[in-house]
Amino acid sequence: MLTVAVTGATGAQGGATARALLTAGHRVRALTRRPDAPAAHALRGLGADVRHADFDDPASLDAALAGADSLFAVTTPFGTDIATETRQGAALVDAAAAARLGHVVFTSAAHADRGTGVPHYESKHAIEQHLRAAGVPWTVIAPAAFMDNYASGWTLDGLRDGTFAWPMPTDCPLTLIPAADIGAFAALVLQRRDEFAGRRIDIASDELTPGRIAEALGVATGRPIAHQEVPLAYVRSRSEDLAAMFAYFATEGLDVDVAGLRRDYPEVGWHTFADWAAAQDWPALLS
């Protein structure tokens, strides 16, 4: 039985990882800045040890990591900025090294090590480099585009009008993964440290074009859905970072060996996009 500290435990990736580890019988320290949040209470109900931790408070990190075996680390620039993400990620890695943890699994982004020029990919790559130099056993898992984003934000707004509004050409393939599969794969990596230490792995569970995504969403929601390509200029007017990401998706592409992952790690229980879409509560989401 491992004791695993999980950052971002009240978020999508950290929460999925915490649940997968608890299901497998491990002890989870769910680290969060908001231990009284509903998501934190839900994790307590599942058996997690919820602890306050703040990337900008070294003492809180030291206390939260003391005596743990491993760490699942997730960072984000959204709500802050990429400079803050990089600084906080480095602080977390340094705390893990000081605690002499046996394994750090950092979740980055697929292709972040390829010089994409996408700001929030570059910040994650900087943290990856810091982790490699920290002297602690490490693994980097790098998810493709999140399926979960298709049930929120501007996508959900468009679906209410029968439109899958997405800033990519209709026939351009994109690799995708739901948070549940990220958590399942992270838990697998944490339980098999010797196999995965020192490796960086891009992960995805399906590959679809926006046209096919629209079709799958139509089936899941029970209403006609058509893809509409959102101009990059529109995205750029709201976020240069996201515009750079979608430009990369449409030109270089986000290839990940989905078939190889399914073959080599069937225990993850990889979900297709259709699987994920069928499991969403669309009547509530679209109301």
Task: State the pairing for strand pair 49-52/27-32.
Answer: parallel
Mean pLDDT score of the chain? 95
pLDDT greater than 80 at residue 33: yes
Q: In this predicted model, what pLDDT tens digit does every residue of 61-96 receive, in sequence order?
A: 999 999 999 999 999 877 778 899 999 999 999 999
Yes or no: say if 270 and 262 are a contact pair by the CB < 8 Å rule.
Answer: yes
Tell me the pLDDT band of 224, cut-offs 50, 70 and 90: very high
pLDDT greater than 90 at residue 44: yes
- Joined together, the tokens standing for residue 249 give 């998706």
Q: Can you state the percent helix, strand and coil of the chain, rounding each to 5?
A: 50, 20, 35
DSSP one-letter string for 32-65: ES-TTSHHHHHHHHHT-EEEE--TT-HHHHHHHH
Amino acid at 113: D
Q: In this predicted model, what pLDDT tens digit does every residue of 247-270 receive, in sequence order?
A: 999 999 999 999 999 999 999 999
Q: What are phi and psi of 239, to 5 degrees?
A: -160, 110
The SS3 call for residue 192 is coil
Burial class (CB in 10 A: 0-12, 13-18, 19+), 283: exposed
Q: In this predicted model, what pLDDT tens digit does every residue of 160-176 receive, in sequence order?
A: 999 999 999 999 999 99
- Is the model's pTM score more than 0.85? yes
Buried b or exposed e, range 66-95, using 16+ CB within 10 angstroms: eebbbbbbbbbbeeeebebbbbbbbbbbbb
Q: Around 138, how many Cα atoms within 13 Å sit in the side-chain half-sphere?
A: 21
